[in-house]
Chain A
Amino acid sequence: MAPTRTVKNKHAASKTNGAGSKSSKDGGITKSKSRSGSKANVKAPAIQVKGRPNIPGLDKNKTKKQQRVYTEKELGIPELNMVTPVGVTKPRGKKKGKVFVDDRESMATILALVQAEKEGQIESKMIRARQMEEIREARRAEAEKKEAERKAKLEETKESLRKKRKRHGHGNKHDDDEDTSLKAVTATGTKAAKPKKKRVSFAAPE
């Protein structure tokens, strides 16, 4: 008894069976006969457009006249945000992937570069700080000087006022008293005259 075979496509199976016993004889291999020089090699007849001669040289001229397409870089147009942001686009033709730094030399190079940069930054920071400190110091000194000048001026005017008073009332006893009183005032400072105390009295009940 022949083994049963399951055929998925019934129609296909029947077709092959129906096509003849030839295929079965060859062991199930069918050869497609290729007809050389049949349809594949036949050239399509050239279609001539009305009013235009079909000369091959003319087509070349047509491609030469093609308008040149300028890129945005050439035109100098400011870059706009697009689907791929401006900074993200990677240069073409560059190798993909990361470049690792693992050898000592390249590491040392980067290290020296970074250190030099940092040293420069710190140095400039220090210089700036020192300059600022100097400026602050100068300002403080100037302010102190001004304060001292102001005080001296005040003292001078005070002194002149005192002298004036002395000259006016020379030998006058009354003025002398006044002068002493002035001295006392300048020594202790003036005090505002005490206002009279307000008194409250209630009317006596009758």
Chain B
Amino acid sequence: MRALTDQEMKTVLDKLANYMSDLKSLIAPLEDGDRYVFRLNHSRVYYVKLSIANLATSISRDALLSLGTCLGKMTKTGKFRLHITALPILAQGARHKIWVKDNGAQPFLYGSNVVKAHVGRWSEDCPEHSGCVVYSMADIPLGFGVTARSTAEARRLDPTGIVCFRQADCGEYLRDEDTLFAG
């Protein structure tokens, strides 16, 4: 387990900035004097309290399975891929949001994109190809994706047209159970 290099940090924050509007809250000091840090272990990036990260130094790299919240994985080409486990953090400060109706929640959780007919409402002034967090109508975050059309364009779209390309959904907790945390 190690801290991130400046290049890695930039890549991770860049990806997070696609979905979140306020990044500063991520590293803001907590009331008890602690703060959150990013740690890398087995090419996975974890978002963890500094005190816990310091405790984890007593565990060898191989033995350490996970700590804190796994944000995603650094690929071998140096890119960063967000995992569904990062959803609670993304949902805190989501830049753009899409609420899907109840009839659209299941298809989304099974891994399909969001079509216009399933959209209950969406945030205004959303450009195309920008990250958005998908919520159910009861404001429960279901996953995240990338908008296929801008809000204005999506209004003219036919009901079967794709509005948001899925990136991750809560169904992955079951579908990718084996590979999500290790391997």
Residues of A within 8 A of B (CB): 98-102, 104, 106-108, 110-115, 117-118, 122, 125-126, 129, 133
Residue from the list A101, A112, A126 in contact with B127, Cβ < 8 A: A126
Whether A102 contacts B37 in the complex (CB less than 8 A), given A110-B6, A129-B128, A129-B152, comes out as yes
- List residues of chain A with CB within 8 A of the CB of B13: 110-111, 114-115
Whether A115 contacts B23 in the complex (CB less than 8 A), given A110-B10, A129-B152, comes out as yes
Cross-chain contact B35 with A101 (CB below 8 angstroms):
no
- List residues of chain B with CB within 8 A of the CB of A102: 3, 37
Least distance between A23 CB and chain B CB atoms (Å) = 55
Residues of B within 8 A of A (CB): 2-6, 9-10, 13-14, 17-18, 23-24, 26-27, 29, 35, 37, 125, 127-130, 150, 152
Cross-chain contact A122 with B27 (CB below 8 angstroms):
no
- List residues of chain A with CB within 8 A of the CB of B17: 114-115, 118
Cross-chain contact A114 with B127 (CB below 8 angstroms):
no
- List residues of chain A with CB within 8 A of the CB of B26: 111
Cross-chain contact B14 with A114 (CB below 8 angstroms):
yes
Q: Using A101-B3, A106-B6, A122-B130 as known contacts, list a sample of 18 further A-B pairs with CB atoms less than 8 Å apart, ordered by residue number in A.
A: A98-B5, A99-B5, A99-B6, A100-B5, A101-B4, A101-B9, A104-B35, A108-B24, A110-B9, A111-B23, A111-B24, A112-B24, A113-B10, A114-B14, A122-B127, A129-B127, A129-B152, A133-B150
Cross-chain contact A133 with B9 (CB below 8 angstroms):
no
Least distance between A148 CB and chain B CB atoms (Å) = 22
Cross-chain contact B23 with A100 (CB below 8 angstroms):
no
Closest to A109 in B: B6
Cross-chain contact A101 with B5 (CB below 8 angstroms):
yes
In the bound complex, CA of A122 to CA of B5 (Å): 26
Cross-chain contact B150 with A118 (CB below 8 angstroms):
no
- List residues of chain B with CB within 8 A of the CB of A117: 14
Q: List 11 A–B pairs whose Cβ atoms lie within 8 Å, in order of A's numbering.
A: A100-B5, A101-B9, A104-B27, A108-B24, A111-B26, A114-B13, A114-B23, A115-B23, A115-B24, A118-B17, A133-B152
In the bound complex, CA of A101 to CA of B24 (Å): 16
Least distance between A65 CB and chain B CB atoms (Å) = 48
Least distance between B80 CB and chain A CB atoms (Å) = 12
Least distance between B70 CB and chain A CB atoms (Å) = 19
Cross-chain contact B130 with A129 (CB below 8 angstroms):
no
In the bound complex, CA of A110 to CA of B26 (Å): 13
